[in-house]
Chain A
Amino acid sequence: MQASTSILSATAIDKIFPGARALDGVDFSLHRGEVHALLGENGAGKSTLVKCLTGAYRRDGGRILLDGADVDPQSTLEAQNLGIGTVYQEVNLLPNLTVAENLFLGRQPKRFGFIDSRDMNRRAKALLAEYDLDIDVTAELAAYSVAVQQVIAIARAVDLSGKVLILDEPTASLDAHEVAMLFRIVRRLKARGLGIIFITHFLEQVYDISDRITVLRNGKLVGTRATADLPRRDLIAMMLGRELVQEVAAEHGAKGEGGEVRFRFRNFGRKGHIQAFDLDVRRGEVVGIAGLLGSGRTETAEILFGAERADSGTAEADGRTLDLSSPRSAIREKFGFCPEDRKVDGIIGDLSVRENIALALQARRGWARPISRSEQDRLADDYIKALDIRTSDREKPIRLLSGGNQQKAILARWLATNPDFLILDEPTRGIDVGAHAEIIRLIEELCGKGMSLIVISSELEELVAYSSRVIVLRDRAHVAELVGNQVTTDGIVEAIAASAGKADA
């Protein structure tokens, strides 16, 4: 029964960040010789769990057993030495070193006190031969494709660790052929008795390679199932949390549908980002965008806002052609955009809440027409009150606020510009329950005032609550549009699963 014994088991793992519980009593166990898929949307806690396992984070509670012994890795290096190796999506190797140097960094074979390059290269070649990889190991890593780099990273991790291999979205940028090559290697390692944790958002790959599936949602364990016993539809429901919702579709059926079409996008797209799509948005309407991670949700938002310039198609508002060639011109057309990654693309961390709120309006007015200080104060105070932004005062640097309050401040930044068209990318991610409800209430309010909104969310019940229509994305293309009574969580799950099935065939 060697094959079914647990090699790694984590019980009741807690991880608390200031203002948020990232992991809440999560149990996870990995068997020898199995591929275990770890699934969940962004912010579900899967990367936090992996970081707790690999020592990148210190857990705040729970036990981790490796081969039956308690372990508490303080760093990835220590975890690596214990036998837990990790390969990330952005390959964590050094592109400026040669393949052989990457494989043997820190443990180069020596001769007379100096590195024996010939021996190192010979060993590197032998190591890679186990993976059917016959390449020039003296070339820089950067010279090879991401797929080859992934294999090299796996070879290094297995060579160093050899008990548990964690693959964090390894296939995100690989083509079908490369994925097949990678999976051949994964199967071989599995046969050697390694426990493999596989994180991905490609469901067909999950069904292709994994033995068991664990799903996390909002930092909690949803469940662990054998892959063979879990239909795709049920899996999507687990990931997107349909079980919480009782359908009330009839109520929203009529929402916004009566208004005239205000924004009209035709054949709008950009090669390599999002396949060209048609989209109509009415006055006072919320159009929801659903799809799994990597399906082209953020790409859709970026192209609508000009953060990535469209290379095909037209955009019109009330029959007038829009210039969406840059964020600046999009803002001039009264567009607004709350990006998904608040910290990187949203907040200006060192500036005050007041300045963060005034920024977009000020940028649109131009530098020569400053918003007076008293006007800024009034603007900030108004929005702090209206959106209930919890801050000791408006002069506090925004980085000191909690995620939910940062999100509200960025919303305020756009509301201050009085936009006609507002794009919200995951507006409720990673924020506490209270702020969550307030933001949903706000979306409904804005829509009531006649604003047109595009909301991207992986919280399906939320989407259903406020959207009059939902666009479903997959593989960077718009694949379905649900209207009226079709807008239910079941309907969305169905649409995602159906299109997924279609692509598999």
Chain B
Amino acid sequence: MNPRYLPLTATIAIFLIAYAVCIAQYPNMLSTRVIGNLLTDNAFLGIAAVGMTFVILSGGIDLSIGAVIAFTGVFLAVLLQATSIHPLVAFVLALAITTAFGALMGAIIHHLEMPPFIVTLAGMFLARGMAFVLSIDSIPIKHPFYATLKSAYYKLPGGGRITLIGGLMLLVFALGILIAHRTRFGANVYALGGGTATARLMGVPIGGTTIGIYALSGFLAGLSGIVFSLYTSAGYSLATVGVELDAIAAVVIGGTLLTGGSGFIAGTLVGILIQGLIQTYITFDGSLSSWWTKILIGLLLFAFILLQKGLIHVTDRRRRHA
């Protein structure tokens, strides 16, 4: 088999095995209801993780997404509370702001030649700070349009529901896959992850692509913020702290190389589902404590880092002897 599919295959296998184990213990977990909830509960994380996948594929990192999600939530809540504009208009405004914010970070990374880690760390402080400035309280969103959106769902056989936000996440993943594999921008993202110097020699517009990647991540973080505000019907500046870490974990467990250049958007979906599954299992079990989630995810992370390291080692050796 082509070694580049190995991490993805491993991810899918882990998910299937884990799910089988869950079902063996709790047959109730084999229901469309559980699957529907898995999608709904992880929708915001999944959407943000698609952006993170692009960033990581290009060899970068974006620490700001948790803060941007919280900012978007507070921004929407404050706007809908203080003015009478329609939520859809507010959505567009929020997305415009977060996209510009991401583009700005990308521009700083490219033009000042600074490590993405520090630039997006500053972005994280700034976005969280802006959220605090808007409001430090949790503001409920009571607009009737929110209720309409929340009640929209597609009923699956067996009682499960694909909610609007769950469906939106799947759509974002589908679009993400399309962008990654069917556009020049997507090819350029992979090229950047393969090596900036070589990519430049081969004619890839480095600056434009870098700015585009962080703008996309900002846009998806904003979309994730909208979804999160729908999910919680509130905006709170202390929400979604550390979501960037969960997203990074999902990307790596999904088989993407943290150093960039190799991986699949679809893998991230499976990574998200594995994380969700662990949580669902712990809920079903009742006696297990929530901290096992973190420990298990840490272990999975470690396993995947080792797997990738091993793969690189093997390909290196094979090429040298070729």
Contact = CB atoms under 8 A, between A and B. Distances in A.
Contacts of A144: 322
Interface stretch (B20-28, B79-87, B91-99, B185-193): B185-193
B287 interface: no
Interface string B237-273: 0000000000000000000000001100000000000
Interface in B198-242: 198-199, 201-204
Across chains A and B, which 3 residue pairs bring their CB atoms closest together, nearest first? A94-B194, A145-B322, A96-B261
Interface of B: 2-4, 178, 181-184, 186-188, 190-191, 193-195, 198-199, 201-204, 261-262, 315, 319, 322
Contacts of B186: 115
Interface string A88-127: 0000111111000110011010000011010000000000
A14 to B, nearest CB: 25
A26 B59 CA distance: 41
Interface of A: 76-77, 80, 92-97, 101-102, 105-106, 108, 114-115, 117, 139-140, 142-147
Given A92-B202, A105-B203, A106-B203, 9 more contacts: A94-B261, A96-B190, A105-B187, A106-B202, A108-B184, A115-B182, A115-B183, A143-B2, A146-B319
Contacts of A77: 201, 203
B176 to A, nearest CB: 14
B198 to A, nearest CB: 5
Contact of A114 (B182, B261, B315): B182
Contact of A94 (B4, B199, B319): B199
Contact of A95 (B181, B184, B194, B201): B194
A117 B187 contact: no
Nearest to A102: B202
A96 B262 contact: yes
A94 B2 contact: no
12 contacts: A77-B201, A92-B198, A94-B191, A96-B194, A97-B194, A106-B188, A106-B204, A114-B178, A114-B183, A143-B2, A143-B315, A147-B322
Contacts of B261: 94, 96
Contacts of B203: 77, 80, 105-106
A96 B2 CA distance: 12
Contacts of A146: 319, 322
Contact of B201 (A92, A96, A142, A147): A92
Contacts of B315: 142-143
Contact of B187 (A93, A95, A97, A143): A97
Residue among B184, B191, B201 with the highest chain A CB neighbour number at 10 A = B201
A95 B182 CA distance: 19
A118 to B, nearest CB: 11
A144 B315 CA distance: 10
A115 B198 contact: no
A140 B187 contact: no
Nearest to A144: B322
Given A105-B202, A106-B202, A97 B178 contact: no
A76 B201 contact: yes
Contacts of B2: 139-140, 143
Contacts of A102: 202
A115 B4 contact: no
B190 A97 contact: yes
B316 to A, nearest CB: 9
Contacts of A115: 181-184, 186-187
